[in-house]
Protein backbone atom coordinates (compact mmCIF):
# COMPACT_ATOMS: atom_id res chain seq x y z
CA UNK A 1 0.00 0.00 0.00
CA UNK A 2 1.21 3.48 -0.93
CA UNK A 3 2.37 5.84 1.79
CA UNK A 4 0.62 8.64 -0.09
CA UNK A 5 -3.03 9.67 -0.51
CA UNK A 6 -4.36 8.08 -3.73
CA UNK A 7 -5.85 11.37 -4.74
CA UNK A 8 -4.63 14.70 -3.47
CA UNK A 9 -7.70 16.94 -3.52
CA UNK A 10 -5.46 19.86 -2.58
CA UNK A 11 -3.49 19.62 -5.86
CA UNK A 12 -6.01 21.69 -7.89
CA UNK A 13 -6.28 24.26 -5.09
CA UNK A 14 -2.58 25.05 -4.91
CA UNK A 15 -2.47 28.11 -7.18
CA UNK A 16 -4.88 30.90 -8.10
CA UNK A 17 -4.85 30.02 -11.82
CA UNK A 18 -5.82 26.45 -10.99
CA UNK A 19 -8.54 27.48 -8.58
CA UNK A 20 -10.03 29.67 -11.34
CA UNK A 21 -9.82 26.81 -13.81
CA UNK A 22 -11.63 24.42 -11.48
CA UNK A 23 -14.33 26.77 -10.18
CA UNK A 24 -17.70 25.08 -10.65
CA UNK A 25 -19.68 28.29 -10.30
CA UNK A 26 -19.10 31.83 -11.50
CA UNK A 27 -20.47 35.08 -10.19
CA UNK A 28 -20.51 38.14 -12.44
CA UNK A 29 -22.18 41.55 -12.30
CA UNK A 30 -24.67 40.17 -14.85
CA UNK A 31 -26.06 37.94 -12.09
CA UNK A 32 -27.17 40.88 -9.96
CA UNK A 33 -30.38 42.86 -9.63
CA UNK A 34 -30.04 46.11 -7.67
CA UNK A 35 -33.08 47.06 -5.53
CA UNK A 36 -33.60 50.76 -4.87
CA UNK A 37 -36.02 53.00 -3.03
CA UNK A 38 -37.64 56.07 -4.56
CA UNK A 39 -38.72 59.12 -2.58
CA UNK A 40 -41.06 61.94 -3.44
CA UNK A 41 -38.62 64.26 -1.62
CA UNK A 42 -35.98 66.42 -3.31
CA UNK A 43 -32.92 64.96 -1.62
CA UNK A 44 -31.15 61.71 -0.89
CA UNK A 45 -32.57 60.16 2.30
CA UNK A 46 -30.21 57.72 4.07
CA UNK A 47 -31.99 54.80 5.76
CA UNK A 48 -30.65 54.32 9.28
CA UNK A 49 -31.33 50.59 9.53
CA UNK A 50 -29.78 49.99 6.07
CA UNK A 51 -26.39 51.71 6.37
CA UNK A 52 -25.12 52.70 2.93
CA UNK A 53 -28.56 52.54 1.28
CA UNK A 54 -30.67 55.63 0.60
CA UNK A 55 -33.99 56.57 -0.86
CA UNK A 56 -33.41 58.67 -3.96
CA UNK A 57 -35.52 61.18 -5.85
CA UNK A 58 -36.27 60.16 -9.44
CA UNK A 59 -33.18 61.95 -10.79
CA UNK A 60 -31.01 60.03 -8.31
CA UNK A 61 -32.56 56.74 -9.39
CA UNK A 62 -31.72 57.58 -13.00
CA UNK A 63 -28.11 58.24 -11.93
CA UNK A 64 -28.01 54.88 -10.11
CA UNK A 65 -29.33 53.19 -13.27
CA UNK A 66 -26.49 54.70 -15.28
CA UNK A 67 -24.12 53.44 -12.62
CA UNK A 68 -25.70 49.98 -12.92
CA UNK A 69 -25.22 50.01 -16.68
CA UNK A 70 -21.59 51.06 -16.35
CA UNK A 71 -20.98 48.29 -13.82
CA UNK A 72 -22.61 45.60 -15.98
CA UNK A 73 -25.63 45.14 -13.70
CA UNK A 74 -28.49 44.29 -16.08
CA UNK A 75 -31.54 45.14 -14.00
CA UNK A 76 -32.76 47.32 -11.15
CA UNK A 77 -35.75 46.76 -8.85
CA UNK A 78 -37.89 49.67 -7.69
CA UNK A 79 -39.76 50.27 -4.44
CA UNK A 80 -41.54 53.55 -3.68
CA UNK A 81 -41.83 55.37 -0.38
CA UNK A 82 -45.34 56.77 -0.60
CA UNK A 83 -46.08 59.86 1.52
CA UNK A 84 -48.61 59.04 4.26
CA UNK A 85 -51.08 61.52 2.76
CA UNK A 86 -51.35 59.31 -0.34
CA UNK A 87 -51.81 56.08 1.60
CA UNK A 88 -55.29 54.73 2.17
CA UNK A 89 -57.04 51.61 3.45
CA UNK A 90 -57.51 50.34 -0.11
CA UNK A 91 -54.08 51.36 -1.41
CA UNK A 92 -55.68 53.03 -4.45
CA UNK A 93 -52.53 55.05 -5.17
CA UNK A 94 -50.93 51.78 -6.34
CA UNK A 95 -53.03 51.93 -9.52
CA UNK A 96 -52.56 55.64 -10.20
CA UNK A 97 -50.83 55.87 -13.61
CA UNK A 98 -48.95 58.97 -12.39
CA UNK A 99 -47.82 57.61 -9.04
CA UNK A 100 -44.18 57.85 -7.99
CA UNK A 101 -43.43 54.37 -9.31
CA UNK A 102 -44.80 55.05 -12.79
CA UNK A 103 -43.06 58.41 -13.06
CA UNK A 104 -39.81 56.72 -12.10
CA UNK A 105 -40.27 53.94 -14.65
CA UNK A 106 -40.92 56.47 -17.41
CA UNK A 107 -37.85 58.53 -16.46
CA UNK A 108 -35.70 55.39 -16.47
CA UNK A 109 -36.96 54.09 -19.79
CA UNK A 110 -36.41 57.53 -21.26
CA UNK A 111 -32.85 58.00 -20.00
CA UNK A 112 -31.38 54.49 -19.63
CA UNK A 113 -33.58 52.14 -21.67
CA UNK A 114 -30.91 49.45 -21.82
CA UNK A 115 -31.24 48.67 -18.10
CA UNK A 116 -34.08 46.31 -17.18
CA UNK A 117 -36.67 47.69 -14.76
CA UNK A 118 -38.29 45.25 -12.34
CA UNK A 119 -41.28 46.63 -10.48
CA UNK A 120 -42.87 45.53 -7.23
CA UNK A 121 -46.54 44.63 -7.22
CA UNK A 122 -48.06 44.63 -3.72
CA UNK A 123 -50.02 47.18 -1.76
CA UNK A 124 -47.85 47.67 1.34
CA UNK A 125 -46.18 50.89 0.10
CA UNK A 126 -49.67 52.36 -0.44
CA UNK A 127 -51.89 51.11 2.40
CA UNK A 128 -52.48 53.01 5.63
CA UNK A 129 -52.28 49.70 7.54
CA UNK A 130 -49.07 48.45 5.92
CA UNK A 131 -50.46 45.16 4.65
CA UNK A 132 -49.86 43.91 1.11
CA UNK A 133 -53.60 43.75 0.38
CA UNK A 134 -57.05 44.91 1.36
CA UNK A 135 -58.21 43.91 4.84
CA UNK A 136 -61.64 43.06 6.27
CA UNK A 137 -63.01 44.24 9.65
CA UNK A 138 -61.04 41.52 11.42
CA UNK A 139 -57.81 42.57 9.71
CA UNK A 140 -57.72 39.51 7.44
CA UNK A 141 -56.11 40.19 4.08
CA UNK A 142 -58.67 39.51 1.34
CA UNK A 143 -57.36 37.43 -1.52
CA UNK A 144 -59.54 37.99 -4.59
CA UNK A 145 -60.36 41.63 -3.97
CA UNK A 146 -56.65 42.31 -3.52
CA UNK A 147 -55.83 40.47 -6.73
CA UNK A 148 -58.08 42.82 -8.69
CA UNK A 149 -56.21 45.91 -7.58
CA UNK A 150 -52.86 44.18 -8.07
CA UNK A 151 -53.83 43.59 -11.70
CA UNK A 152 -54.51 47.31 -12.11
CA UNK A 153 -51.24 48.12 -10.37
CA UNK A 154 -49.33 45.79 -12.69
CA UNK A 155 -51.00 47.33 -15.74
CA UNK A 156 -50.09 50.94 -14.88
CA UNK A 157 -46.51 49.78 -14.38
CA UNK A 158 -46.44 47.89 -17.68
CA UNK A 159 -47.98 50.86 -19.46
CA UNK A 160 -45.25 53.06 -17.99
CA UNK A 161 -42.61 50.72 -19.43
CA UNK A 162 -41.80 48.13 -16.75
CA UNK A 163 -39.87 45.16 -18.13
CA UNK A 164 -40.50 42.67 -15.32
CA UNK A 165 -43.56 42.69 -13.08
CA UNK A 166 -42.70 41.15 -9.72
CA UNK A 167 -45.68 40.45 -7.47
CA UNK A 168 -44.43 40.21 -3.87
CA UNK A 169 -47.84 39.96 -2.18
CA UNK A 170 -48.43 36.16 -2.00
CA UNK A 171 -52.12 36.28 -2.95
CA UNK A 172 -53.31 33.05 -4.60
CA UNK A 173 -54.02 33.30 -8.32
CA UNK A 174 -52.59 36.76 -8.93
CA UNK A 175 -49.92 35.61 -11.36
CA UNK A 176 -52.55 34.19 -13.71
CA UNK A 177 -54.71 37.28 -13.39
CA UNK A 178 -51.78 39.58 -14.14
CA UNK A 179 -50.66 37.41 -17.06
CA UNK A 180 -54.15 37.58 -18.62
CA UNK A 181 -54.28 41.34 -18.26
CA UNK A 182 -50.82 41.78 -19.76
CA UNK A 183 -51.73 39.60 -22.75
CA UNK A 184 -54.98 41.46 -23.32
CA UNK A 185 -53.40 44.85 -22.73
CA UNK A 186 -50.73 44.58 -25.40
CA UNK A 187 -47.86 43.57 -23.11
CA UNK A 188 -47.24 40.00 -24.22
CA UNK A 189 -43.48 40.42 -23.74
CA UNK A 190 -43.58 41.88 -20.25
CA UNK A 191 -42.12 39.28 -17.91
CA UNK A 192 -43.46 38.13 -14.57
CA UNK A 193 -40.98 37.21 -11.84
CA UNK A 194 -43.18 35.74 -9.14
CA UNK A 195 -42.22 35.99 -5.51
CA UNK A 196 -43.38 32.38 -5.39
CA UNK A 197 -41.90 31.20 -2.11
CA UNK A 198 -41.91 34.22 0.14
CA UNK A 199 -41.66 33.50 3.83
CA UNK A 200 -43.09 35.43 6.78
CA UNK A 201 -39.63 36.47 7.90
CA UNK A 202 -37.98 38.51 10.63
CA UNK A 203 -35.42 39.71 8.06
CA UNK A 204 -37.62 42.38 6.44
CA UNK A 205 -37.39 45.07 9.15
CA UNK A 206 -35.11 47.60 7.42
CA UNK A 207 -37.12 47.34 4.17
CA UNK A 208 -40.25 48.35 6.04
CA UNK A 209 -38.35 51.42 7.30
CA UNK A 210 -37.28 52.15 3.74
CA UNK A 211 -40.79 52.11 2.26
CA UNK A 212 -42.27 53.65 5.40
CA UNK A 213 -44.59 50.84 6.42
CA UNK A 214 -42.89 49.62 9.61
CA UNK A 215 -44.75 51.97 11.97
CA UNK A 216 -48.05 51.39 10.19
CA UNK A 217 -48.11 47.60 10.06
CA UNK A 218 -50.72 46.09 12.32
CA UNK A 219 -49.88 42.51 13.27
CA UNK A 220 -47.83 40.26 11.00
CA UNK A 221 -48.08 38.76 7.50
CA UNK A 222 -48.39 35.11 8.48
CA UNK A 223 -51.80 34.58 6.86
CA UNK A 224 -50.31 35.16 3.41
CA UNK A 225 -46.55 34.71 3.59
CA UNK A 226 -45.17 31.21 4.14
CA UNK A 227 -44.24 29.46 7.36
CA UNK A 228 -40.43 29.08 7.60
CA UNK A 229 -41.06 25.47 8.63
CA UNK A 230 -42.22 24.49 5.14
CA UNK A 231 -40.39 23.20 2.08
CA UNK A 232 -42.93 21.05 0.20
CA UNK A 233 -45.33 23.94 0.29
CA UNK A 234 -42.74 26.08 -1.51
CA UNK A 235 -42.68 23.57 -4.35
CA UNK A 236 -46.46 23.74 -4.66
CA UNK A 237 -46.35 27.55 -4.68
CA UNK A 238 -43.74 27.49 -7.45
CA UNK A 239 -45.68 24.93 -9.48
CA UNK A 240 -48.80 27.10 -9.37
CA UNK A 241 -47.03 30.32 -10.33
CA UNK A 242 -45.34 28.60 -13.26
CA UNK A 243 -48.65 27.13 -14.41
CA UNK A 244 -50.20 30.61 -14.21
CA UNK A 245 -47.54 32.08 -16.49
CA UNK A 246 -44.58 33.19 -14.40
CA UNK A 247 -41.34 33.42 -16.41
CA UNK A 248 -39.15 33.08 -13.36
CA UNK A 249 -39.64 32.51 -9.66
CA UNK A 250 -38.11 33.98 -6.56
CA UNK A 251 -37.27 32.59 -3.15
CA UNK A 252 -37.16 35.11 -0.33
CA UNK A 253 -35.34 35.66 2.03
CA UNK A 254 -32.10 34.32 0.63
CA UNK A 255 -29.31 32.80 2.67
CA UNK A 256 -31.45 31.03 5.33
CA UNK A 257 -33.45 29.47 2.46
CA UNK A 258 -30.73 28.06 0.18
CA UNK A 259 -32.27 24.60 0.64
CA UNK A 260 -35.50 25.90 -0.88
CA UNK A 261 -33.63 27.40 -3.84
CA UNK A 262 -31.88 24.10 -4.52
CA UNK A 263 -35.12 22.13 -4.18
CA UNK A 264 -36.95 24.44 -6.58
CA UNK A 265 -34.14 24.31 -9.12
CA UNK A 266 -33.95 20.52 -8.98
CA UNK A 267 -37.72 20.11 -9.25
CA UNK A 268 -38.47 22.58 -12.07
CA UNK A 269 -35.33 23.60 -14.03
CA UNK A 270 -36.62 27.14 -14.44
CA UNK A 271 -34.89 30.46 -13.74
CA UNK A 272 -34.78 30.91 -9.96
CA UNK A 273 -33.86 34.18 -8.27
CA UNK A 274 -33.16 34.90 -4.63
CA UNK A 275 -33.75 38.10 -2.72
CA UNK A 276 -30.95 38.70 -0.25
CA UNK A 277 -33.22 40.87 1.86
CA UNK A 278 -32.68 43.99 3.92
CA UNK A 279 -32.07 42.19 7.21
CA UNK A 280 -29.44 40.00 5.58
CA UNK A 281 -27.72 43.08 4.18
CA UNK A 282 -27.87 44.76 7.59
CA UNK A 283 -26.39 41.68 9.27
CA UNK A 284 -23.38 41.70 6.94
CA UNK A 285 -22.86 45.41 7.48
CA UNK A 286 -23.16 44.99 11.26
CA UNK A 287 -20.77 42.04 11.27
CA UNK A 288 -18.22 43.99 9.25
CA UNK A 289 -18.60 47.08 11.44
CA UNK A 290 -18.09 44.93 14.54
CA UNK A 291 -14.91 43.47 13.12
CA UNK A 292 -16.45 40.00 12.94
CA UNK A 293 -15.70 39.53 9.26
CA UNK A 294 -14.28 41.15 6.16
CA UNK A 295 -17.05 43.01 4.38
CA UNK A 296 -15.91 42.40 0.80
CA UNK A 297 -15.32 38.71 1.44
CA UNK A 298 -18.68 38.30 3.17
CA UNK A 299 -20.46 39.98 0.26
CA UNK A 300 -18.82 37.86 -2.42
CA UNK A 301 -19.10 34.58 -0.50
CA UNK A 302 -22.81 34.99 0.20
CA UNK A 303 -23.54 35.94 -3.41
CA UNK A 304 -21.54 32.99 -4.73
CA UNK A 305 -23.53 30.72 -2.41
CA UNK A 306 -26.74 31.75 -4.18
CA UNK A 307 -25.24 30.86 -7.53
CA UNK A 308 -24.03 27.50 -6.23
CA UNK A 309 -27.52 26.79 -4.82
CA UNK A 310 -28.96 27.21 -8.31
CA UNK A 311 -29.87 30.87 -8.70
CA UNK A 312 -29.80 32.60 -12.07
CA UNK A 313 -29.45 35.86 -10.21
CA UNK A 314 -29.75 37.65 -6.89
CA UNK A 315 -31.51 40.80 -5.78
CA UNK A 316 -29.04 42.42 -3.41
CA UNK A 317 -28.45 45.85 -1.90
CA UNK A 318 -24.76 45.03 -2.28
CA UNK A 319 -25.12 44.87 -6.08
CA UNK A 320 -23.05 47.93 -6.97
CA UNK A 321 -20.36 47.16 -4.41
CA UNK A 322 -20.18 43.52 -5.50
CA UNK A 323 -20.00 44.50 -9.18
CA UNK A 324 -17.09 46.81 -8.41
CA UNK A 325 -15.28 44.04 -6.55
CA UNK A 326 -15.94 41.59 -9.39
CA UNK A 327 -14.60 43.87 -12.09
CA UNK A 328 -11.24 44.45 -10.38
Ligand X SMILES: NCc1[nH]cc(CCC(=O)O)c1CC(=O)O
Catalytic residues: 198, 252
Angle CA 157–158–163, to nearest 5? 105
- Segment contacting ligand X by CB under 6 A, of 102-110, 201-209, 229-237, 282-290: 201-209
Asked whether position 257 contacts ligand X by CB under 6 A, the answer is no
Find the binder of Mg ion among 237, 244, 280, 285 (CB under 5 A).
237
Burial track 252-280 (b if 16+ CB lie within 10 A, e otherwise): bbbbebbebbbbbbeeeebbbbbbbbbbb
Indicate which single residue of 82, 157, 278, 302 sits in contact with ligand X (rule: CB under 6 A). 278
Q: How far is the CB of 322 from ligand X (least distance, A)?
A: 16
Nearest to 146 by CA among 129, 168, 171: 171
The answer to the question of residue 31 lying near ligand X (CB under 6 A) is no
Q: Which is nearer to ligand X, 111 or 145 (CB)?
A: 145
Of 160, 246, 277, 309, the one binding ligand X (CB under 6 A) is: 277
Task: Please tell me the distance from the alpha carbon of residue 21 to that of residue 31, in angstroms, as a whole number.
Answer: 20
d(CA 300, CA 246): 29
Q: Which of 207, 224, 257, 306 binds ligand X (CB under 6 A)?
A: 207
d(CA 156, CA 97): 5
Q: Which of 150, 149, 257 is nearest to 202 (CA)?
A: 257
Four-residue CA torsion sign, 220, 223, 229, 235: negative
Shortest distance, CB of residue 126 to ligand X, whole angstroms?
Answer: 10
CB 61 within 8 A of CB 108: yes
Mask for 117-156, x = binds ligand X (CB under 6 A): ---x-x-x-------x------------------------
Nearest distance from residue 122's CB to ligand X, in Å? 3
H or E element in which residue 146 lies = helix 143-160
Residues of this chain that bind ligand X (CB under 6 A): 120, 122, 124, 132, 168-169, 204, 207-208, 221, 277-278
Residues of this chain that bind Mg ion (CB under 5 A): 237
Amino acid sequence: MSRYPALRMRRTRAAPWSRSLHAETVLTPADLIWPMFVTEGDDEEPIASLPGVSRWPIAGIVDRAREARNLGIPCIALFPNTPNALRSADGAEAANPDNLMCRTIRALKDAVPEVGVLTDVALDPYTSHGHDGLIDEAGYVLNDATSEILVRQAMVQANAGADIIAPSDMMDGRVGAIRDALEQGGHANVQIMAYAAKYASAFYGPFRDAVGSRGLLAGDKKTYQMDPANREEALREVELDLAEGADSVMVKPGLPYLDIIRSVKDAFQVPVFAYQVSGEYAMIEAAAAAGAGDRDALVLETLMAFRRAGCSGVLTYHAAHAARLLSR
